[in-house]
Every structure is written in structure tokens, then in C-alpha cells.
A = this chain, B = another copy of it.
Amino acid sequence: MVTLKDIAERAGVSIMTVSRVMNDKKGKVSPETSERVRRIAKEMGYIPNSTARSLAARSSKIIAVILRDEPATNPLEIPYNAAFLGKIVKILPACGYSIMVHFVQNFSDVTFWLKSWNAEGAIFLGIFDREIRQIRNDNQIPLVFTDSYSNVRRINNVGIDDYKGGQLAAECFLSHGHTRLAFAGPISSGVIAERLQGFSDRLRSAGHPLLPEQTHAFPDRSAADILKSIRESDPAPTGLFVTSDNAAAEFYEAARRAGVSIPDDLSVIGFDDFPVSQMLTPALTTIRQDMEEKAQQTCRILLDRLNNCSSPSEILCLDVNLVERDSVRDLRPPAASPSPLTGERGESGVTP
């Protein structure tokens, strides 16, 4: 292993001079020695020791990405998490940071692990609302959360307009003549609660309130189960809003097994606009969130705070929009003219 000392000896200078050259403290070293040291370092194949630098400078250049984990699941099998992490690993190492990934079930691990590695910043994927205050108090480094609806002040968060997403789904159903609707998703999370709220508020104001028994807890109950409940209701809902494209895909599968046709027997709207939504048959109408933008903003906020620790905290809310494809049946009588609601916000989807 080549160290600063080895280079210093060969170059006939002190360790300090070599250190300065390696850290590009220009103007602090004469061009000639700088040049010579650089050449020798290259010849010798010098590789700076990050752990030594981290210890001495108290600056690890490590960013931690922390994903909420549940027993018997794999957080990276959720395409959203995987793609988001991928974007982070594309962006931050290009700025000189190394990425450590950690799954947490018990959040007390988080602080221990961050401090142990002297991480300079952290990004949180998944719902940490209940622990967010303590995490922030325990860690005085830049922290960026995503999709949090915590009311704690002075945290950084990048989220989307989930409420509007719910509204858009409701509007899309209404504008196609649907009035009896159902909802399925993991109701306990803040994000989903907002989507549900937007959905039911919009339905209520249109005079077609969402019935309590048509709010289904998924995946607590299986898609097949929920589908059965929906179909057996009287009168049965004609449309189902599902809180992720992947969950929607499970409903597609359940529908196929049950001989229920989408959209003829049941219309479906998803959420995310991930690739799977285009792979489904019929292609899924969904609420699009811009994951790339979200990841980019998350990294941007983190980098801002890394460079200037007094930057104000930011809570970002990115826009969402409706992507119309083929999973919502038009129930309007042929005579009816298109509703203005669709025209305003809808995006033309692809039709075979």
C-alpha cells in the first residue's frame, strides 16, 4: 500500500506537501513541486485511504440511504424504492460521495449506524413519520426524508401532491360516468391517507360519496378477497382506485383468475406510472409521479445542506398528473359530450 509518506520520501518533500497536492490546495504549493509530486503519486499508484481521511478530517464522504424494512419483505422489490436508490447512486458518487445502504426495522439502529460510520448525510425512503422527530434530534447532519407527512418543523422532505392525485383519480372516474367507486391501499400510511382523502373529498363534492365499506385495506386483505367483496356489493362499484401500479397489477391478476374483465366489469386507476402500467392489458390509467425529479431534488437538497449547513430546511411538494390509458371504461351514454374535467387535465394515453 502506497501512503503519503512513501510519496513524500521519493519526492524529497514533507508529508504535508503531498497532502496539499492530493487535496488540490492550489496556490499553496509551487507548481513545480506540485507537478512532480503528482507524477510520482501516479507512478506509485497512490490511492488515498478514505478511512484515514475520514478519521482525521471528520468528514467521511459517506451518504447513507436508509430504507424502511418489514420482516419477510424485500424493500428493493418495490420498484419505486429500487429506481429511487438507483438514481441516488447515479448522482451522489459523481459528486464525490460513497453510498451506504441500510434497511431498518428498528429505527434505533439508524442513529447508531450513522454515527458509527460518521455519515455526512442521509436519505430516507419509506415512512418514518413516527420516528422522524427523534431521528432529527439525534443526528445533526443533513437529513432528507421522502413522502413524509410529519408535522415536525425544520426537516427536509420531498413529496408529491398525493391529495391531488386522489382528486384526479376521482375526476377521471366521474368524467367517464362512474359514480359507485372503491378504494384499495395500505390505509395506515400518511401518503395513502392523503390519496384517499383527495379521492373521497372529490367524490363527495360531486354528490357520490365513497362508501365506508368500499375502502379496502390492501395488502392486509388479498386482491382476490377485495375483488370478491367489491363484486358482491349491491350495488357493485364500477371503478377501483388502487394506490400503486404494482398493487393494480395484483388486482389485474386476481381479476383474470376470477373471470372479471377490466375495464368491462371493473375499471381501475393506479398510481405512480411505472413501466408495469404499460405492460398490463389493458394498459393502466394511472396517476403519474415524476420519480426522476423526486430523486434529483432529494439529492439537490442534500448537497445544498452539505455545502452550506445553514441552508433553510425545505419541504417540497411535486406535482402529479393523470395519464389516461385503457383501464377506465366510458359509461356515459353515447350522446353525452366529453366532460370538461377530462379535457383540462387528462393526458392522452396510448390506444392500440
Q: Is A98 positioned at the interface, with any CB of B under 8 Å from its CB? A: yes
Are B98 and A103 touching (Cβ within 8 A)?
Answer: no
Are B89 and A82 touching (Cβ within 8 A)?
Answer: no
Residues facing B in A56-89 (CB within 8 A) are 60, 69, 74-77, 79, 81-83, 85-87, 89
Known A-B contacts A76-B83, A83-B77, A86-B74; A100 and B100 likewise in contact (beta carbons under 8 Å): yes
Q: Is A249 positioned at the interface, with any CB of B under 8 Å from its CB? A: yes
Q: Is A47 positioned at the interface, with any CB of B under 8 Å from its CB? A: yes
A279: chain B residues within 8 A (beta carbon): 249-250, 252-253, 276, 279-280
Are B98 and A99 touching (Cβ within 8 A)?
Answer: no
- Residue from the list B69, B87, B98 in contact with A100, Cβ < 8 A: B98
> A249 vs B83: C-alpha distance in the bound complex, in angstroms?
18
Q: Is A311 positioned at the interface, with any CB of B under 8 Å from its CB? A: no
Q: Is A31 positioned at the interface, with any CB of B under 8 Å from its CB? A: no
Are B51 and A74 touching (Cβ within 8 A)?
Answer: no
Known A-B contacts A49-B118, A256-B281; A76 and B89 likewise in contact (beta carbons under 8 Å): yes
A100: chain B residues within 8 A (beta carbon): 98-101
Known A-B contacts A77-B82, A79-B82; A116 and B50 likewise in contact (beta carbons under 8 Å): yes
- Residue from the list B76, B103, B259 in contact with A76, Cβ < 8 A: B76
Are B98 and A93 touching (Cβ within 8 A)?
Answer: no
Interface residue range, chain A: 35 or more
Are B89 and A103 touching (Cβ within 8 A)?
Answer: yes
A50: chain B residues within 8 A (beta carbon): 116-118
> A116 vs B83: C-alpha distance in the bound complex, in angstroms?
27
Which interface residue of A76, A252, A280, A352 has the most chain B CB atoms within 10 A?
Answer: A76
Are A51 and B54 touching (Cβ within 8 A)?
Answer: yes
A85: chain B residues within 8 A (beta carbon): 76, 82, 101
Known A-B contacts A117-B50, A280-B281; A93 and B103 likewise in contact (beta carbons under 8 Å): yes
Which interface residue of A75, A256, A259 has the most chain B CB atoms within 10 A?
Answer: A256
CB closest residue in chain B, given A86: B76
Q: Is A55 positioned at the interface, with any CB of B under 8 Å from its CB? A: yes
A28: chain B residues within 8 A (beta carbon): none
CB closest residue in chain B, given A74: B86
Q: Is A350 positioned at the interface, with any CB of B under 8 Å from its CB? A: yes
Known A-B contacts A77-B83, A90-B103, A117-B51; A281 and B252 likewise in contact (beta carbons under 8 Å): yes
Q: Is A312 positioned at the interface, with any CB of B under 8 Å from its CB? A: no
A103: chain B residues within 8 A (beta carbon): 89-90, 93
Query: A residues bordering B, Cβ < 8 Å?
Result: 1, 47-52, 54-55, 60, 69, 74-77, 79, 81-83, 85-87, 89-90, 93, 98-103, 112-113, 115-118, 249-250, 252-253, 256-257, 259, 275-276, 278-281, 283, 350, 352
List of 4 A-B pairs having minimum Cβ-Cβ separation, nearest first? A76-B86, A82-B82, A74-B86, A249-B279
What would be 5 A-B contacts, judged by CB atoms less than 8 Å apart?
A: A74-B90, A75-B86, A90-B103, A100-B101, A259-B352
